[in-house]
Every structure is written in C-alpha cells, then in structure tokens.
Amino acid sequence: MDNFLTSIYKWYAVNQRDLPWRKNKDPYKIWLSEIILQQTRVDQGMNYFQRFTENYPTVNELANAAEDEVLKLWQGLGYYSRARNLHASAKIIASEFNSNFPTDYKSILALKGVGPYTAAAIASIAFNLPYPAVDGNIYRVLARFYGINTPIDSTRGKKEFQELAEELISGHDPGMHNQALMEFGALQCIPKSPDCKNCPVAMECYAFNNNQVSGLPVKEKKTKQRQRFFYYYLYNIGDTVLLEKRTGEDIWKNLYQLPLIESEKAISDEDLLKTDLPINAPGANIKQLSAEKKHVLSHQIIYAKMIYVEVTPNFNIPSHLIRVNKKDISKFAVSRLVEQFLHEAGLEI
C-alpha cells in the first residue's frame, strides 16, 4: 500500500497539470472548479472557470448576481442545474456564513449541488481535512490496482471503495493525496487504452497482470435513454423574434428557447406543415423547415427541428412570450441545441 501511494505521489509531483485552482487553497475557487468539472472535461471547463472568476471574483459577487446572468455565463456547458445550485449556494454562504466559505465537511456537504465527493475534495484541498474524494477516476484506479470486481454503482461497492479510500488517506496529506489519485486516473489510468507499459505501478497492478484492464471497474446499471421530439418555431417579426422561458422541473430549467411543440413521436415534414402553430398570429406563414438535429444528453436523446415562420408585426403576444430584438438575443441564456438553431438562422448568440 505504501509503495503504491509513494509511486503515485512521485508521479504526481512530475506530471500534475498547472491548473488555476491549484495556485492557492481558496475554497471558493476550488468549489467553483469542482462544480464546473462535474460531467465536464478540464479543457472544456477551463474557459468557464476563467469567465466566472473574472465576473465573480468572490462568492459574495456571485451571490449578488442575477440568475439569468449566471445561466448565460454557463451557456454551452450543459447540466444547468449545476449553475442554479452554484448560485443558490453562493446566496446561502453570503447570508448564513457572512460570505466566508464554510470550513467543516458537514457544512460544505449541506450546500446545494454538493455531494460527498465534492465536499471531500473541497474539505481536503482547501482545509486539509482527511476526507477521501472518491470520483470516477479514483474508482477506476483502485478497481484496477486492487482487482475489485464489486460494481462501483452498487451499495456494497460504494461502501467497499469508500472504506479502502479512507484507509489509504490515513496519515497522508489529504489534499495532495486526493489530487494525486484523481490526476493519475485522469491522465495515466484512463478509461480506454491506458499506457500501462509506462505506468509506475503496473508491476503490482492486478488488472494489468491479469489482463482485466478493460473490464474494470464494473458497473451493474446501464443508463436508459428516453427519446423526445422537439419542434421549435422561429417567429420572424421584422427585426424581432419570440422567446419563452422554460419552467417546471425539466431539462434546461429557466433557460430561454423558441416557442416549442413537443411530441411523443416524430412528426413528418408534411404533417408539420399541417400542424397548428404554437402561437396563432395574423399572416403567419411557414417559410422553411430545418434539417433534424440529434441532441444526446445523459438520460435523453432529443430529435429536433426548427420551423421558420414569417409573421405580420401587428398581433397580441401571449404573456408567457417575450419579443426580442435580433441584435439583443445574445443576452439570453439558451441551451446548446437552441444556440445551434439560432446560429443557423444567422442570429449571433
């Protein structure tokens, strides 16, 4: 065990990436980075981290921001509940902790959007508290090195890996320890085709010595993906278009979109031309149908089209819609899917 960790620590000292949230132990920046990097690669999340720290250098400034501004800054990163929870937690820190980031594990864990892994990462890196941060990278490293076949998404597996991780972190620098193992999994012990021949712990690795690298870690559940069919309507009203805000507990909550019809099954182009428009307007005339886009989310696959509609300027707009000048549309936070459609329509978003 000690030889394993010593080798990982030495590897980390040489190979760790120069990341901005590692410059100091600012818990706000560590928290921000951990939330951004949930479901996001480091190279993709880096620009978002820079944007957030430039716009909101402190947790207090994030707390005082408007939610629409936070969502707009997050645009394109996906999993928007992360941004809403980030903003809500900043408000809690500002009001309940006098804008000082909580310093104990239990209080950090109580923040919205923070689970055991994120709380352990913040507590260990920022405050040197001995909590193991067990993420996908660490599950993979431990499963392969120790030859653990228990599914990582089972109750028994989570308990087994947690106990091992707690045993490993004992007596070591918690922040460095967690970062070293995470970095090793992210760069060396990668999911597919890792470079085992140049791995510092390969000779003692169970998976490498038993030809099980591709089979570990084990998962018992497969994600079921629901199919949805979205039909967006771009109402072209001179220099303006219509937008609506998504509400309810669904994907892209509180983001803006074009007026939408959702169907349980695909609608043919012929039937789309016959389908009632979502907004009745005088002189409405369908001009064009876009090609279908396939948008894949973790639990859903969305098949979407955009319908271009020309409308005469004089009509009463329903209260749930807003009329936006085309040059101002970039001020509104939208999903990546809607962004792509608007870009194809020649609108700068």
DSSP 195: -
Neighbours of 141 (CB within 10 A): 24
Handedness of CA 265, 269, 270, 275 (dihedral sign): positive
29 closest CA partner among 49, 9, 46: 49
CA dihedral 16, 22, 25, 30 (to 10 degrees): -110
Percent above pLDDT 90 for the chain: 87
User: Rounded to two decimals, what is the model's pTM?
Assistant: 0.89
Domain with CATH 1.10.340.30 in the chain: 2-215
Edge-to-edge strands, sheet with 321-325: 256-257, 240-245, 321-325
- CB-based burial label for 136 (10 Å; 0-12, 13-18, 19+): middle
What are the tens digits of pLDDT across the range 217-266?
999 887 788 999 999 999 999 899 999 999 989 999 999 999 999 999 99
pLDDT number for residue 153 = 93
48 contacts 36 by C-beta, under 8 angstroms:
yes
pLDDT number for residue 306 = 97
21 contacts 48 by C-beta, under 8 angstroms:
no
* The architecture CATH gives domain 226-344: Alpha-Beta Complex (3.90)
Domain with CATH 3.90.79.10 in the chain: 226-344
pLDDT number for residue 271 = 95
d(C-alpha 251, C-alpha 316), whole Å: 29
CA 85 to chain CA centroid, nearest Å: 12
Predicted confidence (pLDDT) at residue 109 exceeds the cutoff of 90: yes
Q: What is the mean pLDDT of residues 44-67?
A: 97
Q: Which residues are catalytic?
A: 34
d(C-alpha 295, C-alpha 273), whole Å: 23
At 1, the pLDDT band (50, 70, 90 cuts) reads low
d(C-alpha 96, C-alpha 63), whole Å: 12
86 contacts 73 by C-beta, under 8 angstroms:
no
CATH class (in words) of the domain with range 2-215: mainly alpha
Q: Would you give the end-to-end CA distance of the chain in angstroms?
A: 52
pLDDT number for residue 110 = 97
What are the tens digits of pLDDT across the range 185-208?
999 999 999 999 999 999 999 999
Which phi and psi (to 5°) does residue 206 adopt?
-60, -45
